[in-house]
Structure 1
Amino acid sequence: MKDKNSRVILQINERPRFLQWILLSIQHLFAMFGSTVLVPALTGMSPAVALVSSGIATLTFIIITKGKVPSYLGSSFAFINPILVAKSLATDPNSGVGSGDFLVGCFFVGLTYACVALLISKVGTQWLMKLLPPIVVGPVIMVIGLGLASTAVGMVTNNIDTQGYDLKYVAVGFVTLSITILVAVFTKGFLSVIPVLIGIVGGYLFSSFLGLVNFTTVLQADWFEIPPFTFPFIDYTPGISTRILLLMIPVSIVPIAEHIGHQLVLSKVVDKDLIKDPGLDKSMLGDGVATMFAALLGGPPNTTYGENIGVLAITRAYSIYLFIGAAIFAILFGFCGKIAAVLSTIPTPVMGGVSILLFGIIASSGLRMLVENKVDFSLKRNLIIASVILVIGIGGAAIHVGDLFSLEGMALASIIGIVLNQILPGKESIDFKQMFKE
């Protein structure tokens, strides 16, 4: 153990030298940048707001966890499809869904995290492990990636202006994807951590060569510009839509399971049991409060980022000050009008190119969870649970009861998966009475 600690560059509470602080903080910023910006770009939200909200979310998380958990919080991929569906419903005057209702849904997602954190603080984590085993979470994660596959392919084939097939779009998507893959596979160290960012930059330059980028907005933008925040009661009237809540809240099981996994991995990386100190309840609460703040600003739900955990493992610099620095840089970038303008000019096929890889990786990570946990598909119960989740989630199955109740897609698949896991023979069910006695 001493040998391991002797190789650590910066311990969690160790303050780095100034130049070291700046450079390592920017590295964490780059690690999260591509994915955090991609989510709002795909959902029609503001990348600048997402950057600011991710910075505030990270600082909030650090405060709640008392500076003991070195993590960066960025935009969650799990809510891309629910947000797209919610915004689509808002355009239908007969749906009863308001334009800002999806942000209310995002706020309730954060509230769900907070409620889970409270329950963990009272009764421990065993119930959560039984409720969300790999056989449920793995297929749900696969649904997230595969359910977005058609979106990614459409972005690299269909010109949004002509609404038809465009060979230039295909070329840009292919080049962007190729660059991202080459960087991810054939580079080492820092570059291997930011293949998405490099892919986007490469695709952007190639798009410029083909004349697909209009730099007018970049030239006209100010260096300092307030992001287009969306505040409740000012920019929209909050409405609690049962349909939106049922669309978004059940999806929370994925980032919750992801959060647990990240804390376990991070504990191994920094050689400290973060599940006990500061506790999973504290880190989950930090995630929840951060997501609520993001929703109040008009940003997407947040989650801890595996990319930044990867940076920690590579650099062995665990200082919490690096994440404070990265969060401050993210906020400053969000208020830079030039950067926001550049982000708004990124062509659709560029984002589509990296999305093909990222959405595929999301699906593959669900498969990886099943493999690593040695889920036995020779057992009928496991085969049935996974099969039903995949078909219902990807197929977009839905249950509608008038305008009062609606459950569809990933949310419906998640709930059915949880229920099947509890009622099918061969699995010990959760003893709620005993749980609360403890």
Structure 2
Amino acid sequence: MAEKAVLDIQDKPDPLRWIVLSLQHMFAMFGATILVPTLVGLSPAMALLTSGIATFIFVIVTRFQVPAYLGSSFAFIAPIIMIREGGGTDGDIMIGIIAVSFIYSIISLIIWKTGHRWIMRLLPPIVVGPVIVVIGLGLAPTAIDMASMIPVFDELGNQIGSEYSLKHLTAAGVTLLTAVIVLMFFKGLISLMPVIVGIVVGYIYSLAIGIVDFDPVLQAKVFAMPEFIFPVIHYDVNISLMALSLMIPVVLVTVSEHIGHQLVLGRVVNRNYIENPGLHRSLLGDGLGTLISGLMGGPPKTTYGENIGVLAMTRVYSVYVILGAATFAIIFAFLGKVMALIGTIPTAVLGGVSILLFGMIAASGLRMLVEHQIDFDSQRNLVIASVILVIGIGGATLKFIVPVLNVPFELGGMALAAIVGVLLNLILPGRPKELIEE
């Protein structure tokens, strides 16, 4: 049973609290949302803009009942990088993102017409729980690198690697410790802001130790238009098929992630979002948000575990706070100076917060297994969970060339782990009756 809400789904906070709580949600997703495009060569400002628009679409599609924020999906980082390495362009990437959104829509339509039980049987807690753990723990190295590593550049300004920095690690530690202290020991308004207080204290500490660079703020324009990338249809079939073959299989991971997020979010706010407003609506909202992102030049979208973590920590479930965060994201995407100032937050500070938030994603997967009373005395459950965890966290990869088309195909990490988990759940004997019966 979820704890009593400080602000429930339809509650509107007073203006000051509304601003503060919305900013906290924006900061919670900010680091990860702009990190994804940074890693794959897309525009961080566009990622921020499309995350805000996608969140509005999601909330509208789900009838203002689901307080979820849509940010950049980490699941597509590897496929996008591989598309670039294979000679693909930004346009190819956008075509892949649009294709993914159509797959979401098709699955949503099927669920609407046939009900959600078949996909819940296909992706039961014994599969989804470990996949969520893989997502959280798969991000763990990212959080640690953000907290402790700094980039190294050559004479031409090109990044050639990274190196350990104790100074930056202390900034991450101060940020993490502050967030934990606020979460555990404070009451009132401050207790609702562990993320933003942690970032502020971490930033002040970073100023004191001299790891904040204000040059980008001085050079930035007051207003700046995000970089739009429009998909271009061309006739290079090999490149297009390669992009699709790399992007589409990841849908299984993101749908698993989506179901897991809806189940976890439902537990947090004490509602059944699979039934009402329905998995088909939340998945459609996710797909339409990803479609808009692909049409504008942003990365694929997904409901964000970081923001679910904030909801769990603060017990502020208001959908209007989420929309406030989306509004700030849209506004900030056009404010060059503000984007530059936010960009001066050291990666180590964001890494300190990410340690807590990414850990909560993994812990939410464990929580799902516990709440569904998954019996690990069962060899069947033990096998499924073990294989998913090792394949996913270990980064196992399946590579081959598609015959006739001569197109490279690669499936690995979370996607491969999810597919293997689904297959094991279907073929291993001893499936529970509720997963077999209609």
TM-score, normalising length from structure 1? 0.82
1:53 is aligned to 2:50: yes
Q: Residues 57 and 294 of structure 1 are in contact (CA less than 8 Å); yes or no, is this contact kept in structure 2?
A: yes
Structure 1 runs of 4+ off > 6 angstroms?
Answer: 7-11, 429-432
Gap runs ≥5 in structure 1: none
RMSD: 3.3
- CA deviations over 1:409-428 (Å, ceiling 9, x no partner): 11000000011011111115
- CA deviations over 1:216-254 (Å, ceiling 9, x no partner): 2212323322223333239xx994514422553222233
Please state whether the residue corresponding to 1:288 is helix, strand or coil: helix
Q: For residues 276 and 125 of structure 2, what CA distance do their matches in structure 1 show?
A: 25
Report matched runs for 1:105-254 at 5 Å.
105-161=96-152, 163-233=162-232, 239-240=240-241, 241-246=243-248, 248-254=250-256
1:69 is aligned to 2:54: no
Q: 1:381 to 1:278 in 2, by over 3 A?
A: closer
Q: 1:255 to 1:390 in 2, by over 3 A?
A: closer
Amino acid corresponding to residue 268 of structure 1 in structure 2: N
What is residue 332 of structure 1 aligned with on the other side? 331
Q: For residues 174 and 332 of structure 1, what CA distance do their matches in structure 2 show?
A: 31
Please state whether the residue corresponding to 2:410 is helix, strand or coil: strand
Amino acid corresponding to residue 29 of structure 2 in structure 1: T
Q: Residues 102 and 244 of structure 1 are in contact (CA less than 8 Å); yes or no, is this contact kept in structure 2?
A: no
Report matched runs for 1:248-263 at 5 Å.
248-261=250-263
Q: Residues 96 and 244 of structure 2 are in contact (CA less than 8 Å); yes or no, is this contact kept in structure 1?
A: no
Q: 1:188 to 1:287 in 2, by over 3 A?
A: farther
Report matched runs for 1:33-52 at 5 Å.
33-43=26-36, 44=38, 45-52=42-49
Q: 1:177 to 1:260 in 2, by over 3 A?
A: closer
Q: For residues 201 and 116 of structure 1, what CA distance do their matches in structure 2 show?
A: 42
Gap runs ≥5 in structure 2: 154-161, 402-406
- CA deviations over 1:123-172 (Å, ceiling 9, x no partner): 11211221111110111111112222223222333321263222222222
User: Following TM superposition, by how much is the alpha carbon of 1:361 offset from its aligned partner in structure 2, in angstroms?
Assistant: 1.9
Amino acid corresponding to residue 302 of structure 2 in structure 1: N
- CA deviations over 1:66-104 (Å, ceiling 9, x no partner): x4425242315xx32531x23432453xx3443454444
User: Following TM superposition, by how much is the alpha carbon of 1:308 offset from its aligned partner in structure 2, in angstroms?
Assistant: 6.6
Identity over aligned residues, as a percent?
42
Alignment length (residue pairs): 410
User: Following TM superposition, by how much is the alpha carbon of 1:114 offset from its aligned partner in structure 2, in angstroms?
Assistant: 1.8
What is residue 158 of structure 2 aligned with on the other side? none
User: Following TM superposition, by how much is the alpha carbon of 1:274 offset from its aligned partner in structure 2, in angstroms?
Assistant: 5.8
Q: Residues 48 and 334 of structure 1 are in contact (CA less than 8 Å); yes or no, is this contact kept in structure 2?
A: yes
Q: 1:429 to 1:289 in 2, by over 3 A?
A: farther
User: Following TM superposition, by how much is the alpha carbon of 1:174 offset from its aligned partner in structure 2, in angstroms?
Assistant: 1.9
1:29 is aligned to 2:33: no
Q: Residues 34 and 48 of structure 2 are in contact (CA less than 8 Å); yes or no, is this contact kept in structure 1?
A: no
Q: For residues 398 and 87 of structure 1, what CA distance do their matches in structure 2 show?
A: 16
What is residue 404 of structure 1 aligned with on the other side? 408
What is residue 264 of structure 1 aligned with on the other side? 266
Amino acid corresponding to residue 26 of structure 1 in structure 2: I
User: Following TM superposition, by how much is the alpha carbon of 1:398 offset from its aligned partner in structure 2, in angstroms?
Assistant: 0.9
What is residue 76 of structure 2 aligned with on the other side? 82
Q: Residues 309 and 357 of structure 2 are in contact (CA less than 8 Å); yes or no, is this contact kept in structure 1?
A: no
Amino acid corresponding to residue 64 of structure 1 in structure 2: V
What is residue 345 of structure 2 aligned with on the other side? 346
Q: For residues 371 and 314 of structure 1, what CA distance do their matches in structure 2 show?
A: 24
Q: Residues 265 and 308 of structure 2 are in contact (CA less than 8 Å); yes or no, is this contact kept in structure 1?
A: no
Q: Residues 246 and 407 of structure 1 are in contact (CA less than 8 Å); yes or no, is this contact kept in structure 2?
A: no
TM-score, normalising length from structure 2? 0.82
